[in-house]
Amino acid sequence: MSTVPTGPTTPAAVPGQSTSPTTAAGTGAEPADALRPHAEEAFADELAALAAADDRPRPARWRLSPWAVATYLLGGTLPDGTVITPKYVGPRRIVEVAVTTLATDRALLLLGVPGTAKTWVSEHLAAAISGDSTLLVQGTAGTPEEAIRYGWNYAQLLTHGPSRDALVHSPVMRAMAEGRIARVEELTRIPADVQDTLITILSEKTLPIPELGSETQAVRGFNLIATANDRDRGVNDLSSALRRRFNTVVLPLPATAEEEVDIVARRVDQIGRGLDLPDVPRGADEIRRVVTVFRELRGGVTEDGRTKVKSPSGTLSTAEAISVVTNGLALAAHFGDGVLRAGDVAAGILGAVVRDPAADRLVWQEYLETVVREREGWKDFYRACREVTA
């Protein structure tokens, strides 16, 4: 019947659990120059502007209406001129379905190959809806039940016996008590019996605490976003009982090269500013080349559809393209003239493509000689790649 007071958690007592950003002082405040601020901090201005402009109905405990949450993710311009930057680039419908799901009694499962922004979208959804993206459980093969339910503060437990005060709340339990969004990353990596802990939580909206003969009931506003990789399918497949509690939304790879270039350019720009790196001009050649190479190798065919190429073992995701370009930019800044050139991205591309030293190297060499070498305007790129490959 009752809900739990949300006292400070004791992170160490719950192994395998990623905890909220409580600072050493335990204030929960973020340092002013956090290396990677949470979405709700990084985009606080946009969220505040949206909340001010938003006159549509909001589900219980939501900071924004579903419409405003979708606008936060997809970008747009508010009546007062405030520009909301797009966080997710992709089909509008996907975002609308995801947001709507969270306003129902079903949980949301974001599915897709690595690097399709599952984690990214999940963080921004939680930030926009609950103003808090930190109620997070990172799924691994070793995630224990306590990471999803609750643990015990053993010092308290031994001195005072089992009581509410001795409970260490998991992020999911806190989200239930506070009516917020909880996040579970890489759900299918979690052992099946631990996954099943979620069934009662999602169907009955309660978390029994048998040791106290009590329970924590979820209040309105609670829901859960899980992410899972397509590639992991079969590792710890979701039981059908659990799957039924979720609406599944599949995040696709970017449909066109233009879209992917846009995503990479935007993210590199954001990350680069955080690291004080020089600006990359929009539509920079190197970004287009990295994206082209990744798409061709991933798809097994050249952009013009004429030449088949072999695919290497790596995923060559958009996320990897982002990191290749960011690293290139850092190289250009620290050891070059600040302009991103072929030589700055070549080594990064090689590292992303050649995962398996034998087989992938052959695939890469063949691609270099048959496709890159012949391509007009790519001479400098070919030479730079040859240099690092040799």
Ligand X SMILES: Nc1ncnc2c1ncn2[C@@H]1O[C@H](COP(=O)(O)OP(=O)(O)O)[C@@H](O)[C@H]1O
> Applying CB under 6 A, does 246 fall inside the site for ligand X?
no
Q: Of ligand X, Mg ion, none, which one does residue 120 interact with (CB within 5 to 8 Å by kind)?
A: ligand X
Alpha-carbon span 318 to 261, nearest angstrom: 9
- Based on CB atoms, which residue is closest to ligand X, 314 or 343? 314
Identify whether the C-beta of residue 185 lies closer than 8 Å to the C-beta of residue 136: yes
Q: How many CB atoms lie within 10 A of CB 307?
A: 13
Q: Of Mg ion, ligand X, none, which one does residue 143 interact with (CB within 5 to 8 Å by kind)?
A: none
Q: Of ligand X, Mg ion, none, which one does residue 322 interact with (CB within 5 to 8 Å by kind)?
A: ligand X
Q: Which residue is nearest to Mg ion (CB)?
A: 119
The residue among 291, 326, 351, 305 whose CA lies nearest residue 89 is 291
Report the DSSP pairing between strands 214-217 and 83-84: unpaired
Identify whether the C-beta of residue 272 lies closer than 8 Å to the C-beta of residue 279: yes
Q: Of ligand X, Mg ion, none, which one does residue 326 interact with (CB within 5 to 8 Å by kind)?
A: none
Output the CA–CA distances (angstroms, integers) from residue 290 to 40, 164, 317, 342, 370, in the order listed.
31, 54, 11, 9, 17
CB of 206 to ligand X, least distance (A): 29
> Applying CB under 6 A, does 90 fall inside the site for ligand X?
yes
Mask of contacts with Mg ion, 106-145, x by CB under 5 A?
Answer: ------------xx--------------------------
- Based on CB atoms, which residue is closest to ligand X, 145 or 230? 230
Alpha-carbon span 157 to 163, nearest angstrom: 7
- Based on CB atoms, which residue is closest to ligand X, 114 or 278? 114
> Applying CB under 6 A, does 88 fall inside the site for ligand X?
yes
Alpha-carbon span 339 to 347, nearest angstrom: 16
CB of 225 to ligand X, least distance (A): 12
Q: At what angle do helices 318-335 and 257-274 cross, to 10 degrees?
A: 50
- Based on CB atoms, which residue is closest to ligand X, 36 or 306? 36
φ/ψ region of 343 (left if φ > 0, alpha if ψ in -120 to 50, else beta) reads alpha
Q: Of Mg ion, ligand X, none, which one does residue 280 interact with (CB within 5 to 8 Å by kind)?
A: none
> Applying CB under 6 A, does 58 fall inside the site for ligand X?
no
Identify whether the C-beta of residue 38 lies closer than 8 Å to the C-beta of residue 22: no
CB of 309 to ligand X, least distance (A): 23
Mask of contacts with Mg ion, 319-348, x by CB under 5 A?
Answer: ------------------------------
- Based on CB atoms, which residue is closest to ligand X, 112 or 139? 112
Q: Which residues pair with 109 in a beta bridge?
A: 226, 248
Identify whether the C-beta of residue 86 lies closer than 8 Å to the C-beta of residue 75: yes
Alpha-carbon span 84 to 77, nearest angstrom: 6
Output the CA–CA distances (angstroms, integers) from residue 101 to 8, 113, 272, 306, in the order listed.
30, 21, 34, 42
Mask of contacts with ligand X, 200-239, x by CB under 6 A?
Answer: ---------------------------x------------
> Applying CB under 5 A, does 153 fall inside the site for Mg ion?
no
Q: Which residues pair with 168 in a beta bridge?
A: 151
CB of 330 to ligand X, least distance (A): 16
Q: How many residues make contact with ligand X (CB under 6 A)? A: 18
Alpha-carbon span 299 to 311, nearest angstrom: 7
Alpha-carbon span 312 to 349, nearest angstrom: 12
Site for ligand X in 305-364 (CB under 6 A): 318-319, 322
> Applying CB under 6 A, does 65 fall inside the site for ligand X?
no
Q: Of ligand X, Mg ion, none, which one does residue 112 interact with (CB within 5 to 8 Å by kind)?
A: ligand X
Site for ligand X in 105-134 (CB under 6 A): 112, 114-120
Report the DSSP pairing between strands 214-217 and 167-169: unpaired
List contacts with ligand X (CB under 6 A). Answer: 88-90, 112, 114-120, 227, 254, 263, 267, 318-319, 322
Which parts of this chain interact with Mg ion (CB under 5 A)? Answer: 118-119
